[in-house]
Structure 1
């Protein structure tokens, strides 16, 4: 069977294990059902997620012009401390920025390759943790806007990482840690304005990923260099497909690539 469409990050459903869905314009695939099957991925063309034109993808699924012009690719996306909608100040599109920034946000600790701090909209819990391949996570604060979440993350980065080693996450060389203890340890470092929103009674959330075989050492599939690849799917973690030959393919990292996927 052959499916075609532009890649967007896989949609997920919390479960044991987590369910993954690759959604195209007119079809979708339950990726869990493809474990142990041979897949062929063929790059066909680019398709910008914003303008829809066939232009080379620059970042985040956008062509270069859309990346620098679209409201959904502003610097505050990656650096929430730069959010200004709470001040009524526009970056690229104030109405869009109000819609996204002026809603409850969570600052959390997650353990994917190590303990890290991160920010997400409340509506994206636990999706954000799943996308990062975290096997455990816990909320620290729930604040009313993105700016407060951003300055909290900046303050906590002085004490805990904000990065994930994707290679370590995919090889599953990880250790369980006491995230409650980490949360309580970091409470005193939460900045003024956000400290009143501390969450001190919640428990850890655990994620179970559909992986039959973890690679010993990963090699990343780059469609620009290898436009056609065939391998047996052995697992899904984060937004990565894991294949029998230790090749891994980052779906989110290839958003905006129009591909064909053959199943045999």
Structure 2
């Protein structure tokens, strides 16, 4: 079987285990069904997710020009504390910024390689945790806009990590943590503006990834350096495909790349 299309992050559905899907313009592919099968990935061309031109991808699936123009790649996306829509101030596109920033946001703790703090829109729970490869997570506060979530994250990351070690996450070198205790310990550091939104009573969410075999050493597949690759798929975690020879492929990190997938039956 052969499929071709531009890569975007895999869609997910929480379950036991999590279900993963690759969505192309003309194909909808259940990635879980490809486990233990040989997959070939061939780079075809670039296709910017905004202008659709065959221009080298710069970041987040966009060419250089589009990355510095589209609201989806503005600074506040990565740094929520820079959000200004609640002040009616535009960065790139006020209508878009209001639509995204002025909705309920969650500040959470997730454990993927270590306990980390993060921010996501409420509608993205638990998708955000799945995309980060977290095997457990818990909400800390639910605030009405992205700015409040951002300043809460900034305050808490002085006391807990805000990054995932992707290598540790993919090797599954993890330990369980009591996130309820972590949340209670961090409560004292929540800014006064967000403290009323603290969630007193909730439990951890546990996530199960479809992995048959975790790698011991990691080789990251770079399509610019290796445009053709073949391997047996052994797992899917976060937005990574894990292959039998310890090669890992970050689907989200290759958004905007048009690929041809060949699956041996």
Q: TM-score, normalised by structure 1?
A: 1.00
CA distance in 2, matches of 1:142, 1:176: 24
CA distance in 2, matches of 1:214, 1:72: 33
**Counterpart in 1 of 2:162?**
162
CA distance in 2, matches of 1:50, 1:127: 23
CA positional deviation for 1:217: 1.1
Classify the secondary structure of the residue corresponding to 1:21.
strand
How do 1:136-175 and structure 2 match up within 5 A?
136-175=136-175
**Counterpart in 2 of 1:44?**
44
Cα distance per residue 1:203-259 (max 9 Å; x no partner): 000000000000011110000000000000000000000000000000000000000
Classify the secondary structure of the residue corresponding to 2:138.
strand
Cα distance per residue 1:73-131 (max 9 Å; x no partner): 10000000000000000000000000000000000000000000000000000000000
Classify the secondary structure of the residue corresponding to 1:150.
helix
Classify the secondary structure of the residue corresponding to 2:130.
helix
**Counterpart in 2 of 1:184?**
184
How do 1:1-150 and structure 2 match up within 5 A?
1-150=1-150
Classify the secondary structure of the residue corresponding to 2:196.
helix
- Gaps of at least 5 residues in structure 1 are none
Classify the secondary structure of the residue corresponding to 1:97.
helix
CA positional deviation for 1:23: 0.4
Classify the secondary structure of the residue corresponding to 2:68.
helix
Ranges of 4+ aligned residues in structure 1 off by more than 4 Å: none
CA distance in 2, matches of 1:156, 1:127: 22
Classify the secondary structure of the residue corresponding to 1:180.
helix
**Counterpart in 2 of 1:236?**
236
**Counterpart in 2 of 1:253?**
253
CA distance in 1, matches of 2:135, 2:177: 11
Classify the secondary structure of the residue corresponding to 1:259.
strand
CA positional deviation for 1:28: 1.1
CA distance in 1, matches of 2:217, 2:112: 17
CA distance in 2, matches of 1:42, 1:141: 43
CA positional deviation for 1:32: 0.3
Cα distance per residue 1:113-159 (max 9 Å; x no partner): 00000000000000000000000000000000000000000000000
CA distance in 2, matches of 1:40, 1:155: 45
Q: TM-score, normalised by structure 2?
A: 0.99
CA positional deviation for 1:41: 0.1
CA positional deviation for 1:192: 1.4
Report how many residues are paired: 264
CA distance in 2, matches of 1:48, 1:204: 38
Classify the secondary structure of the residue corresponding to 1:197.
coil
